Amino acid sequence: MPKYQSYSTNLNQRRQSTGLRPLIVLCVVSILVLTFYLREGESGPIHTLRAGVTTITTPARMAGNLVSAPFNAVGNIFGNLTASRATLDELEAENAELTARVAELAEYQATSERLEKLLDLQSTYNLQSTAARIIGQSSDAWSDTVTIDKGSLDGISVNMPVTNSTGVIGQVIEVAPNASTVRLLTDEGSGVSAMIQDTRAQGMVQGQPDGTLRMDYVSVDADVKEGDIIITSGIGGVYPKGLPIGTVASVTKNSNDVYYTIIVSSASRTESNEEVLVITSLSEEQTATDQDVASANNTPAGGERSQGDTSGEGSTESTDTTEGSE
């Protein structure tokens, strides 16, 4: 019996020794290979062997990924299907909250950009003005007006001009304590003395029944072309001089005509704006000079209007001021 136990013990020791020896050899070889790999250059034999193995095994790895991709997708689907109702509800609520937050931030950004443009306009033209918000628009076919949220308690009065960040939009015609009605330039009852910015040719921009703008009383002797910028002339002291109104969309002249037919593309779009400036007072430099008035009265347009009204060009501004009293 002792002899048998001695044989068994020797056999077990031999097996343990046989199992450890390859492991030790592999560790030593790995350390040596790693040392040589780190010390040799990029063109060394171990690097070259590694690149070759990678090249050979790459197609197999790609094939393996292609084969396993559908199974991974199916696994994800089953994982989603087996998700608890509470988890799905939580994810849906989180998604809805994030969507609402994104929309809110986008609205804040759009409002900030519009207010910044208003401040730029106010600073550029040195306007004495009060900011207001458009809160309503006319719903009938006989007038083109908007309602703003400022009234007499805020210093607003009839005939004050109104502009948005891109140009003139109209004039206050009715005032309540906390709200006011603004007649838009596109209303057929509106009218503002204007001029071509480059040539200073005088005329009047008026609204048309179809909601467009037209510049009347511009002599065919004046130089007018498509794309010309039209601004307020400041004559009459209602609108500040130099505010943008629009651009010449088309200009035509028929034979024997005294005036051009000029269609104006408005610079402002009230339907896409919410904030406006109500101009409360004008400085001396924002009104037309005596020379501007004299120049307007000496044009054929001024002479034509003076036949019916001895005030000449001043009749243009009577249109501006009477708008508020209608």
Tell me what pLDDT residue 301 has.
Answer: 43
Taking residues 106-124, what's their average pLDDT?
Answer: 84
Q: Give the CA radius of gyration of the chain.
A: 41
As to burial, measured by CB atoms within 10 angstroms (0-12 exposed, 13-18 middle, 19+ buried), residue 144 is buried
More confident residue, 318 or 292: 292
Percentage of the chain beyond pLDDT 70 is 70
- Residue 311 in this model has a pLDDT that exceeds 50: no
- Residue 63 in this model has a pLDDT that exceeds 80: no
What tens digit of pLDDT does each residue of 262-307 get?
999 998 876 666 899 999 998 888 887 777 777 776 654 433 333 3
Of 24-33, 132-141, 217-226, 262-271, the range with the highest mean pLDDT is 217-226
- Residue 319 in this model has a pLDDT that exceeds 50: no
- Asked if 218 and 301 count as a contact pair (C-beta separation under 8 A), the reply is yes
Could you give the C-alpha distances from 88 to 79, 81, 97, 270, in angstroms and in order? Answer: 12, 10, 14, 44
Distance CA 322, CA 326 (A): 6
More confident residue, 286 or 34: 286
- Asked if 191 and 319 count as a contact pair (C-beta separation under 8 A), the reply is yes
- Asked if 236 and 215 count as a contact pair (C-beta separation under 8 A), the reply is no
Tell me what pLDDT residue 117 has.
Answer: 85
- Residue 13 in this model has a pLDDT that exceeds 70: no
What tens digit of pLDDT does each residue of 165-202 get?
888 999 999 999 999 999 999 999 999 999 999 999 99
What tens digit of pLDDT does each residue of 127-141 get?
999 999 999 988 677
Percentage of the chain beyond pLDDT 90 is 37
The verdict on pTM exceeding 0.85 is: no
pLDDT-derived band at 90 (thresholds 50, 70, 90) equals confident
Which residue has 């009234």 as its token pair? 151
Tell me what pLDDT residue 321 has.
Answer: 38
- Asked if 260 and 250 count as a contact pair (C-beta separation under 8 A), the reply is no
